[in-house]
A and B are shown apart, each in its own frame.
Chain A
Amino acid sequence: MEPVLQALANGVIIGAIVALTAVGLSLIYSILDLTNFAHGDTVTVGAYAALAVNIAWGVSPWVGVLVGMLVGAVISVVLEVVLWSKLRRSGADRVTLIVVSIGLALFLRNLIIFIYGTSSVSYQVPVEQALLLGPVMLTPQQIQVTAAAALAALAVHLILQYTTIGKAMRALADNMDLAWVSGVNVDNVILWTWVLGGLLAAGGGALYAFTRPINPNLGWFLLLPMFAAIILGGIGNAYGAMLGGLLIGVTQELSALVIPNHYKLAVGYAVMIAILFLLPRGLLGKEELT
């Protein structure tokens, strides 16, 4: 029983991070019809920005998380202005956008490699004693990370339900044309969606760096679980993305009890394929996939 509970706890931690990072991927996917393969690299950028200020200035990594989030949002907005909006205006189709996002992903990842190299790095924080919570062993940082992720998820909920811009995001993800004729300022909402997605992706990356040393491939390896999460949760639904992320994280960690640890990622992938066939709309989605 104890290994199961421990795996469950680990799954919730990684799942919470995937949940946060997947929100932006899902909203952008549905609002802009953009399958953004560079989203994982926004996660990486956030993590490295957080590490950079923590290591260079010696400030708390939590300040680093905030800086990382800011950097993630700024980069997302800049890319929207100089790249994505241009492509949309020229009427680029979905395939073109996908190829551009791949090029962008290569660029961002290698920019990080150029600056920081490929070896693993972690925050400069004192090592803390792991706590025994009943049968489960957790470090204080793991608990803080999970709490922070829960707080962020709550913030997303409040934004989507109670702010005008959040409601508009949901409306756009639901039905772009209907939202547009209802007088929603589409460009403005798109910009704020990038801000929200960038903040969460980069924040998720910065939180991830608390749980283990990271390298420039961090976002790449999170990308498949993120896609699995949004397909499981139903594309275009922010709650679905969070639920999907949590479920994928837990499934992957639990699977490691019965199959070799290094095939964890394959399990998330198998779940994704199964969902595409059995439940193509995902748990909370409404969009047709084929």
Chain B
Amino acid sequence: MNLLSYLLGFATNLVIFALFSLGLNLQFGHTGLINFGHVAFMGVGAYTMVIIVLSGAPLWLAMLVAVITAGAFGLLIGLPVIRLRDDYLAIVTIGFAEIIRMVLNNESWLTRGPQGMFGFPVPFENLGLSPLGHRALFLAWVLLTAGLVFWLVNRLTGSPWGRVLKAIREDETVASSLGKNTVAYKLQALVIGAMIAGLAGVQLALFLRYINPRNFMPLTTFVAWLIMIMGGVGRNWGVVIGSMIYFGLNAATQQFMARGLGPLTGGQVGALRMMLVGLILVLLMLYRPQGILGRKEEMTLES
């Protein structure tokens, strides 16, 4: 019973982060945009949904507005910076995410600051289900939305539109010399990726039933990067595999996080875990940049 509940929560988290990483994969894996501020779109989605629903609007409307708002923020940050070289894009997006977090932390009149927001309605809570039944139904709902988005993204990336994205990733000059408006394509990829992250944020808020700015630390962005790279950059299925590996690892060390490990405190085990995340990123880039299942051509080391 307890184990089942845990497994349901585990699976829900896994699916939400696979969805979150799917958006990043569209931006970086398919288009080559270095987005180091992906978590900002997740935060915008989550907070927008909660703020709107707490003002009395129906849940479905709040979710819709949240996803659109996340996309609008993608456009907002993308319009000025999309033309920049990749390294500047990395710096600018990371700064953007930090500023969003600053706003979430400090504009208490809107976001309740570090206290966070809770007490908002979540789907299926009025059906009279047991907590376990509710968890199962919620997982089904997250799977359904994520599956739908996955199907859409898969169709998009397999279409001529998706092939233009890859052409831009490989050589933007060539793509534009063929008459493609590369800036418009890059913006579209950024905005769609941001909307997907926004949806992941909505689902995360509904799953946790409580959000605060600490949910949206820069680390979350890098977890998505790790998931994407482990699964194979540019492969949509990769984010599912990557997410499984990451959360598997997470679960394996969770026990020790709470209790400590021998002489180590829980905090130290947590730090070790993050060191491992960093180390895996470095080692993957050194020895297997195409990810565990990826194709080598998707992320070549030849400059």
Chain A residues in contact with chain B, CB under 8 A? 35, 37, 83, 86-87, 90-96, 98-100, 102-111, 113-114, 117-118, 220, 224, 227, 231, 260, 262-263, 265-266, 269, 272-273, 276-277, 289-290
Contacts and interface: CB of A to CB of B under 8 A. Distances in A.
B102 A114 contact: no
B106 A104 contact: no
A273 B92 contact: yes
A134 B151 CA distance: 69
Given A106-B219, A260-B106, A114 B282 contact: no
A266 B97 CA distance: 11
B87 A35 contact: yes
A114 B281 contact: no
Interface string B49-77: 00000000000000000000000000000
B152 interface: no
Contacts of B94: 37, 224
B294 to A, nearest CB: 13
Contact of A102 (B83, B86, B99, B225): B225
B8 interface: no
A262 B84 contact: no
Contact of A92 (B36, B92, B222, B303): B303
Given A35-B91, A102-B225, A104-B282, A114 B272 contact: yes
Given A94-B86, A110-B278, A272 B303 contact: no
A289 B84 contact: yes
Contact of B302 (A86, A91, A106, A260): A91
B226 to A, nearest CB: 8
A95 B177 CA distance: 23
A289 B85 contact: yes
A95 B282 contact: no
Interface residues of B, number: 48
Contact of B222 (A83, A102, A272): A102
A266 B219 contact: no
B280 A272 contact: no
Contact of A100 (B36, B81, B85, B281): B281
Interface string B269-284: 0111011011111100
Given A98-B34, A107-B275, A114-B271, A266 B102 contact: yes
B179 to A, nearest CB: 20
Contacts of A231: 88, 91
Nearest to A216: B271
A95 B234 CA distance: 14
Task: Give the dominant DSSP class at B's interface.
Answer: helix
Contacts of A35: 87, 90-91
Contacts of B277: 103, 106
Task: Give the dominant DSSP class at A's interface.
Answer: helix
Interface string B180-224: 000000000000000000000000000000000000001100100
A39 to B, nearest CB: 12
Contacts of B219: 106
Nearest to B277: A106
A134 to B, nearest CB: 33
B19 interface: no
Nearest to A96: B285
Nearest to A108: B278
Given A102-B36, A104-B278, 14 more contacts: A37-B90, A83-B286, A87-B285, A92-B303, A99-B225, A100-B282, A107-B279, A110-B274, A113-B270, A114-B272, A224-B95, A227-B91, A262-B102, A290-B85
A290 B83 contact: yes
B84 A272 contact: no
B278 A107 contact: yes
B98 interface: yes
Nearest to B28: A95
B267 interface: yes
B84 A103 contact: no
B102 A103 contact: no
B23 interface: no
